[in-house]
Amino acid sequence: MSIDLIHAIYTINTQASSALYRQVMEQTKQGIRAGLLQPGQQLPSVRVMASSLQVNPMTISKAFSQLEQQGVLERRKGIGMLVAEQHNISNYSDALLTQRDQFVTLAKQQKLSDDAIITLVQDALSALSNRT
């Protein structure tokens, strides 16, 4: 991925209320949806991304780690971060999507932040993984 493509996909707004790593996450997802990032495409290293976007490398590292946990990116030893094969939302059942929407609505009604909601889901996934 060239520096020009990085700047075509990513625009960091330090004045925004959204954390910088969340901006990187959302813009990565938007790049995938727009077809600018293709499954199997290698992303630049954390250092290159951080330098290009003029942010702390930990910001990029956190964004990449979260995206990896969400299945958006995958880490390959010796290669780095790649765009994962994407699951089309239309492949999910209506029941699952309804449950998801109800969960998010309830969490928002209880004034949970987006990060808190994500942490709640990650904790549940970890608990399930530990049972097996």
CA 66 from chain centre, in angstroms, equals 5
In this prediction, residue 127 carries a pLDDT of 82
For residue 75, the SS3 value is: strand
Task: Please give the Cα distance from 81 to 112 (Å, whole number).
Answer: 30
What is residue 89's predicted lDDT score, i.e. its pLDDT? 55
Region of 73 please: left (phi>0), alpha (psi -120 to 50) or beta: beta
Report the pLDDT value the prediction gives residue 40, as an integer from 0 to 100: 93
- How big, in percent rounded to 5, are the helix, strand and coil portions of the chain? 60, 5, 35
The pLDDT value recorded for residue 96 is 82
Given a contact cutoff of 8 angstroms between Cβ atoms, the answer to whether 46 and 61 are in contact is yes
**If the chain, 132 residues long, is cut into consecutive pieces of 10 residues, what is the mean pLDDT of each piece?**
83 91 93 89 94 96 93 92 76 80 93 89 81 66
Kindly tell me the sign of the dihedral angle through the C-alpha atoms of 10, 14, 18, 21: positive
The pLDDT assigned to 24 comes to: 96
